[in-house]
């Protein structure tokens, strides 16, 4: 039998209650008691504390036709804010969300340096701006989560960022020394997977999310927890070899998956063959619309090699949900059907394969959601993804 003191049991009950309030959006005390199996007395005492702390508010339903209007409970979305940061090679994206995970402010800063000291100063300066801007709320910025496009250890040390050439960086400690806010460091693919689970796929416990932009990263949610591996480096699936003695990769091997099935590989190839310094999605869409045979064949090859790696992933992890984050797949007609047609092994089993509805914002939204999870101390969140709200809060260059 598991036992604990009164304060421990109270924390557990609080976590259960907050999880259900977040999940339902609006819920009465009576329904909370039913879904949590906690006594009404326990619910009343805990809710009273949460209201005193400003985390929960009461709302009376106006349109209720039978009997007395129930008092509904919801998270006080304005009690504090979460700050998610996506630290990429040439830019940094910042998103501030309320406590229900809805974005309320976004900024994008172009970076023309890979120098750690310069980028650290830039981060600290911008965080201080946000901290001051949202100091009016009761809890201010409740936490900061930074998405890293590289290897992050279980101790949150940044071991290696290929495109920035960073090794063994203690970004978390360096920021916390200057700003009194909890900072968490996480791999960007893990945060994308977390966003997919939290905002979209509420009913799955086992989810894989592959991001295909600058390389190929794999975020893995297993039983609602990150699957990290021994040191925390699991998910570097882009360096799985799919073509023996193939194209040289920066990792030192040849024939790595991301050299054939990442968007970066497609853009690099088209820049060379079309003799253009910068190829855009708009260029590719135009060529596809015009029936450019070379581009169509390239996209078919992209899907072919993508399918090889996906087949391996499915066989290794047997996921419930597999999410692909790629703008090119969204653009190319019937891309999912083509991929499914290639996954015809009798031993490859998965329940669903989808293209991400969140897209490039997944890592930064996952960062916001993880900061909220830490602050509320709940085992998992179920939040709503509002497409229109996210469009209104699109990043701006500063």
Look at residue 219 and tell me whether its pLDDT is greater than 70: yes
362, part of any domain: no
In sequence order, the β-bridge partners of residue 208 are 220, 322
Is the residue at 223 inside a domain?
yes
Q: Say whether both 82 and 69 belong to one domain.
A: no
How far apart CA 196 and CA 190 sit, in angstroms, is 10
The pLDDT > 70 percentage for the chain reads 93
Q: Is residue 366 part of a domain?
A: no
- The pLDDT score that the predictor gives to residue 385 is 82
Neighbours of 78 (CB within 10 A): 17
- Residue 316: per-residue pLDDT: 87
In this structure, the answer to whether residues 99 and 145 fall within a common structural domain is yes
Whether residue 296 sits in one domain with residue 328: yes
- Structural domain span for residue 36: 6-75
Q: How confident is the model at residue 398 (pLDDT cuts 50, 70, 90)?
A: very low
Into how many domains does the chain fold? Answer: 3
Confidence check: pLDDT of 393 > 60: no
Average pLDDT for 168-183: 97
Q: What is the pLDDT of residue 343?
A: 87
Average pLDDT over residues 300-311: 96
Specify the pLDDT at position 163.
85
* Residue 396 predicted with pLDDT over 80: no
Residue identified by tokens 């293209």 is 355
Which range, of 95-104, 202-211, 230-239, 283-292, averages the lowest pLDDT?
230-239
Predicted confidence at residue 4, as pLDDT, reads 60
Q: Which residue has the higher pLDDT, 317 or 132?
A: 132
Residue 367 lies in a domain: no
Mean pLDDT of the chain: 91
Please tell me the predicted confidence (pLDDT) of residue 274.
Answer: 94
- Residues of the chain with pLDDT > 90, as a percent, come to 78
Answer with the residue of higher pLDDT: 159 or 65.
159
Same domain, 116 and 251: no
Q: Is the pLDDT of residue 386 over 80?
A: no
Task: Specify if 365 maps to a domain.
Answer: no
pLDDT band at 41 (very low <50, low <70, confident <90, very high): very high
Q: Is residue 21 part of a domain?
A: yes
What pLDDT score does 6 carry? Answer: 85
Do 274 and 288 fall into the same domain?
Answer: yes
Residue 17 and residue 51 in contact, taking contact as beta carbons nearer than 8 Å: no
In a domain, residue 238? The reply is yes
**Quick one: which of 193, 188, 186, 128 has its CA closest to 155?**
186
pLDDT tens-digit series, residues 7-20:
899 999 999 999 99
**∠ at Cα 389 (205, 86), nearest 5°?**
65
**Is the per-residue pLDDT at 395 higher than 70?**
no
Reported as a single tens digit per residue, the pLDDT across 188-202 is 999 999 999 999 999
Cα gap 109→126, rounded to integer Å: 10
- 228 and 332, same domain (yes or no): yes
What is the arithmetic mean of pLDDT over 126-139? 97
**CATH code, domain carrying 223:** 3.30.420.40
- 324-375: pLDDT as tens digits: 999 999 999 999 999 999 987 666 677 889 999 999 999 999 999 999 999 9
When pLDDT is averaged across residues 263-287 and rounded to a whole number, the result is 95
Among candidate residues 75, 107, 125, the one where a domain is terminated: 75
In SS3 terms, the chain reads as CCCCCHHHHHHHHHHHHHHHHHHHCCEEHHHHHHHHCCCHHHHHHHHHHHHHCCCEEEEECCCCCCCCCCEEEEECHHHCEEEEEEECCCEEEEEEEECCCCEEEEEEEECCCCCHHHHHHHHHHHHHHHHHHCCCCCCCEEEEEEEECCEECCCCCEEEECCCCEEEECHHHHHHCCCCCCEEEEEHHHHHHHHHHHHHCCCCCEEEEEECCCCCEEEEEECCEECCCCCCCCCCHHHCECCCCCCECCCCCECECHHHHCHHHHHHHHHHHCCCCCCCHHHHHHHHHCCCHHHHHHHHHHHHHHHHHHHHHHHHHCCCEEEEECHHHHHCCCHHHHHHHHCCCCCCCCCEEEECCCHHHHHHHHHHHHHHHHHHCCCCCCCCCCHHHHHHCCCCEC
Q: Are residues 112 and 160 in the same domain?
A: yes
Among 3-12, 176-185, 278-287, the minimum mean pLDDT is found in: 3-12
Mean pLDDT to the nearest integer, 253-272? 95
CATH number at residue 51: 1.10.10.10
Ranges 5-9, 92-96, 277-281: which has the least confidence: 5-9
Domain assignment present for residue 97? The answer is yes
Of the candidates 17, 46, 75, which is a domain's last residue?
A: 75
- Per residue in 61-82, pLDDT (tens digit) is 766 566 677 899 999 999 999 9
Q: Do 70 and 86 share a domain, yes or no?
A: no
Q: Using the 3D structure, point to which of 45, 75, 105 is the last residue of a domain.
A: 75
- Are 213 and 341 contained in the same domain? yes
Does residue 342 sit in the same domain as residue 218?
A: yes
| Alpha carbons 216 and 207: distance in angstroms, whole number | 16
Answer yes or no: do 285 and 376 share one domain: no
341 and 223, same structural domain?
Answer: yes
């Amino acid at each position: 039998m598991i036992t604990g003191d009164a304060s421990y049991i109270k924390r557990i009950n609080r976590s259960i209650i907050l999880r259900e309030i977040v999940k339902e959006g609006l819920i009465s005390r009576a329904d909370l008691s039913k879904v949590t199996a906690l006594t009404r007395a326990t619910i009343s005492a805990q809710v009273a504390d949460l209201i005193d702390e400003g985390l929960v508010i009461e709302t009376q339903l106006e349109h209720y036709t039978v009997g007395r209007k129930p008092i509904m409970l919801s998270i006080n979305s304005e009690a504090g804010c979460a700050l998610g940061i996506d630290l990429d090679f040439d830019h940094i994206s910042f998103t501030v969300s309320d406590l229900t995970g809805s974005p309320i402010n976004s900024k994008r800063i172009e970076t023309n340096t890979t120098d750690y000291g310069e980028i650290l100063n830039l981060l600290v300066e911008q965080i201080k701006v946000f901290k001051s801007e949202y100091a009016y709320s009761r809890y201010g910025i409740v936490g900061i989560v930074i998405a890293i496009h590289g290897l992050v250890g279980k101790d949150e040390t940044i071991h290696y960022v290929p495109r920035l050439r960073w090794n063994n960086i203690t970004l978390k400690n360096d920021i916390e020394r200057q700003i009194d806010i909890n900072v968490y460091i996480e791999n960007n693919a893990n945060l994308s997977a977390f966003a997919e689970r939290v905002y979209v796929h509420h009913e799955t416990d086992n989810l894989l999310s592959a991001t295909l932009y600058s390389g190929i990263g794999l975020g893995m949610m297993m039983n609602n927890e990150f699957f990290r591996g021994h040191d925390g480096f699991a998910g570097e699936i882009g360096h799985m070899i799919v073509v023996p003695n193939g194209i040289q990769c920066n990792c030192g091997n040849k024939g790595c998956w991301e050299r054939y099935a990442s968007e970066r590989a497609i853009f690099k190839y088209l820049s060379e063959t079309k003799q253009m310094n910068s190829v855009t999605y708009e260029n590719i869409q135009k060529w596809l619309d015009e029936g450019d045979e070379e581009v169509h064949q390239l996209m078919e090859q992209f899907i072919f090699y993508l399918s090889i790696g996906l087949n391996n992933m499915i066989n290794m992890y047997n996921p419930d949900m597999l999410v692909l984050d790629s703008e090119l797949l969204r653009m190319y007609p019937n891309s999912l059907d083509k991929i499914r047609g290639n996954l015809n092994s009798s031993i490859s089993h998965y329940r669903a394969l989808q293209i991400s509805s969140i897209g490039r914002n997944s890592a930064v939204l996952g960062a916001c959601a993880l900061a909220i999870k830490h602050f509320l101390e709940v085992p998992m969140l179920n939040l709503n993804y509002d497409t229109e709200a996210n469009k209104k809060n699109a990043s701006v260059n500063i």
